[in-house]
Amino acid sequence: MTNFINARLEAACFTPGQLLTQDLALPEIAVAGRSNVGKSSLINALLNKRLAKTGQTPGKTRSINFYHVDIKDSLSFRLVDLPGYGYAARSKSERNEWQKLISAYMNKRESLKLVCHLVDFRHGLLANDRELQEYINSTGKNIFVVFTKADKIAKGKWKSTRDKYILDRLYSIDVPIITSSDKGEGVEALREFIAKYLAQSQEKSHEDS
């Protein structure tokens, strides 16, 4: 079992000028997804702590939130919660500001090692999910797909549904993990994936230096 310990909110950034610029040697893993995909609930389940605000109103996360997380074996990282996208009720100017904020973070952020792209398991990749994937891919960042809300689909259909989405073309560095925050499904598998990915990234950095 992978222990994520001492998780805490480090900063909430609403403008590009507020983005963290200190201690950029600390690896970062971002979490992105459509509004109402269950991003905050999964982050809370992952960290085993209610740090991300959840609610019935989509688009609740309007800042980039940086969480400092310690893992056993003296490994630390930042989990970066990106604002949800695709919520039509927000004004066009507000959505544009969010896009500028995300672009300012993504572009040339060497500390960003991976983007976990959360996708609603009921729907698969919608048009703006694919737009996000194309954008992240253009920045050269690795993408890992994590399906959410799997409890809304019969468990016997999980594998075939996942395989159908994979065949329908998506960017993911490994086979997507299927999760349900309500049921706790896939949460530990995601913790283990992140810990392993960070350890391998650290080893590669040592080899290259």
pLDDT class of 112 with cuts at 50, 70, 90: very high
* Single-letter residue type at 23: D
pLDDT of residue 80: 97
Indicate the SS3 state at residue 192: helix
User: Would you call 97 exposed, middle or buried from its count of C-beta atoms within 10 A (0-12, 13-18, 19+)?
Assistant: middle
pLDDT of residue 123: 96
In order of 75, 92, 132, 181, 197, the CA distances from 203 in angstroms are: 12, 43, 29, 31, 10
pLDDT of residue 95: 66
Q: How many CB atoms lie within 10 A of CB 10?
A: 18
Tokens at 101, concatenated = 């904020």
| Domains in the chain: boundaries | 4-208
* Single-letter residue type at 99: Q
In order of 7, 76, 195, 203, the CA distances from 3 in angstroms are: 11, 11, 9, 20
Rg from Cα positions in the chain: 16
Residue pair 177/146 in contact by the 8 Å Cβ criterion: yes
| Structural class in CATH, domain 4-208 | alpha beta
pLDDT of residue 91: 57
Dmax over CA atoms of the chain, in Å, equals 48
* % of the chain surpassing 70 pLDDT: 88
Q: Is the pTM of the predicted complex or chain greater than 0.85?
A: yes
In order of 2, 5, 47, 198, the CA distances from 73 in angstroms are: 10, 11, 16, 12
pLDDT digits (tens, 9 = 90+) for 176-209: 999 999 999 999 999 999 999 999 988 776 666 5
Whether 153 shows a pLDDT value over 60: the answer reads yes
Q: Could you write out the three-class secondary structure of 94-124? A: HHHHHHHHHHHHHCCCCCEEEEEEEEECCCC
Please tell me which residue, 122 or 205, carries the higher pLDDT value. 122
pLDDT of residue 204: 73
184 backbone dihedrals φ, ψ, rounded to 5°: 80, 10
pLDDT class of 3 with cuts at 50, 70, 90: confident
pLDDT digits (tens, 9 = 90+) for 45-102: 999 888 887 654 545 557 899 999 998 767 899 999 998 886 545 556 666 777 888 8
Whether 162 shows a pLDDT value over 80: the answer reads yes
pLDDT of residue 74: 74
Summary mean pLDDT of the chain: 88
